[in-house]
Amino acid sequence: MFLIAGLGNPGSKYTLTRHNIGFLVIDEITKNLSVKTNINKSNFVADITKSSNTLLVKPQTFMNESGKSIVSIADYYDIANEEMIIIHDDLDLPFGTVKYKIGGGHGGHNGLRSIDAHMGKDYIRIRVGIGKPENKSDVANYVLSNFSKVELKDLEAIISHIIKSIEALRTLKIDEVKSKYTLK
């Protein structure tokens, strides 16, 4: 079974923020599923949709507690780190860039820091570039700000591309996905 988690913050005020790109991808995937089951277990603290052999997860903890939610689901379903795909925003990549990797540092991303602390680092990451603010001191405000109207239009194609790459990750090695699906 695969666990595909999009990182973000719960609540309608965060819906279209840069930090919620993972939620936006999961929302698009679940919107197009013909057969799905919603799983409600309070100890998971997540919105979970099951489709065939895949769990699509949106942790409902805040970003810095994502690891607690994801580890409880992975443990319950006995999902190994190699069967997990985490979709997250990345300040160090220009807007629209999409990169893939296994492991590595958290780069200051509190969601990844939480997952790493609970599960280790050897899971697949889909890094989605959101750009960065001009001033380093504005990072918190920047990641919690909404995408612009132009960015939202561009996101449709980016999210569609990410969904295709997720399908490829089920059968191809990570290096093949990197070479075929990386967007710069």
Would you name the residues annotated as active-site residues? 19
110-119 and 66-77 are packed helices; what angle lies between their axes, rounded to 10 degrees? 40
Tokens of 145: 């700000």
The three-state DSSP-derived secondary structure of 70-136 is: HHHHHHHHCCCHHHEEEEEEECCCCCCCEEEEECCCCCCCHHHHHHHHHHCCCCEEEEEECCCCCCH
Q: How far is CA 88 from CA 8, 40, 67, 163, 174, in A?
A: 8, 23, 13, 13, 17
Q: What is the rounded CA–CA span in Å between residue 54 and residue 32? A: 14
